[in-house]
Structure 1
């Protein structure tokens, strides 16, 4: 079992940040996040997530043209914004990632299965991404609130990748957090049958 401190870091005390301290995120930290998150389970080890880390001023300006007004300032001031994408041809990597079965044939030509699997599993990987970021000492600000078509055209043109969601990364300014929102109780959200 993880220590209470570790559980607090990953879950209990973790917050969605909207304001950031002026402290850089290193390449080594971004590599460490990926090297942790990649071990999270996905169906048939399909691993469809693809990530673009936006840090440079020029690329950040392009990204800002894709986000909603409500997400503009927090994205502008975040040291890094991760675009969590999903490779819509993830199944082409299955001979490498799931070599003990012909898993590629489960998807090739079945667009509904491709779409559902890419979205479901890149979302899982996005959650692993946030846990990994917290584990290496960073804070997260996951968001919807962007023009997906525009973002895909800017960052994924000519590829088989589409955006799932975006996530700001850095050292959050705890002084600017909103009060913690409530959560549903076990009995409201769960049933044991």
Structure 2
């Protein structure tokens, strides 16, 4: 590995999903620095369909919490920053500027079902990069899929262009968070085969 062990530990081995955060705000500049790093991660045809809504105001936080599953409501309400990570289902409109080598790239996604599947998959890829970027900034990320996507999308994205993929709480973990032991991971042999 070219990345030193300390950095590997920060990003993966010692990083945990926090459930409780310190009461310390996450400034806009820090989120921008994270994005300025992780935006370089590859997506298919440089689609970059991830769109993010930083939920900061009390009113917006209460609107978001209404759509979270019960066990995620108190965590989201108390987090210093919650982010709705969504797929832009019209990402193909920007492809001519993002992927100029293929002038007809936009037309390749004229079929809505193909476009939606591609937007969702590539947003999930970008979500993974974002988690690693949050950890690289010394923060903890708590991604959640425990929300009602139909009502959340209607509340925050009524025009249907964006579709929520995850909600992530971000901040400095409180002492003792998480309190539970790390869950097991699959072994290499369980994941990889050679053909």
The interval holding the TM-score normalised by the smaller chain is: over 0.9
Within a 5 Å distance, the mapping from 1:54-73 to structure 2 comes to 54-73=55-74
- Please state how far the C-alpha of 1:159 moved relative to its aligned partner: 5.1
Residue in 1 that maps onto 2:85: 84
- Please state how far the C-alpha of 1:112 moved relative to its aligned partner: 2.2
Within a 5 Å distance, the mapping from 1:168-183 to structure 2 comes to 168-177=169-178, 178-183=180-185
1:12 aligns with 2:13: yes
Unaligned runs of 5+ in 1: none
Q: How many residues are aligned here?
A: 192
Aligned 8 A contact 2:153 2:160 in 1: no
Residue in 2 that maps onto 1:52: 53
Residue in 2 that maps onto 1:104: 106
Spell out structure 1 runs of 4+ moving beyond 2 A.
none
* Residue-by-residue CA offset, 1:99-158 (whole Å, 9 max, x unaligned): 1101111101x1221111001100000011111111111101010110111111221122
Residue in 2 that maps onto 1:150: 151
Residue in 1 that maps onto 2:142: 141
Residue in 1 that maps onto 2:119: 118
TM-score normalised by structure 2 residue count? 0.95
User: What SS does the corresponding residue of 1:175 show, helix, strand or coil?
Assistant: coil
Residue in 1 that maps onto 2:188: 186
TM-score normalised by structure 1 residue count? 0.96
* Residue-by-residue CA offset, 1:144-180 (whole Å, 9 max, x unaligned): 1101111112211225111011111001124031111
Q: CA RMSD in A?
A: 1.0
Residue in 1 that maps onto 2:38: 37
Cα distance in 2 between the residues matched to 1:150 and 1:171: 29
Residue in 1 that maps onto 2:25: 24
User: What SS does the corresponding residue of 2:176 show, helix, strand or coil?
Assistant: helix
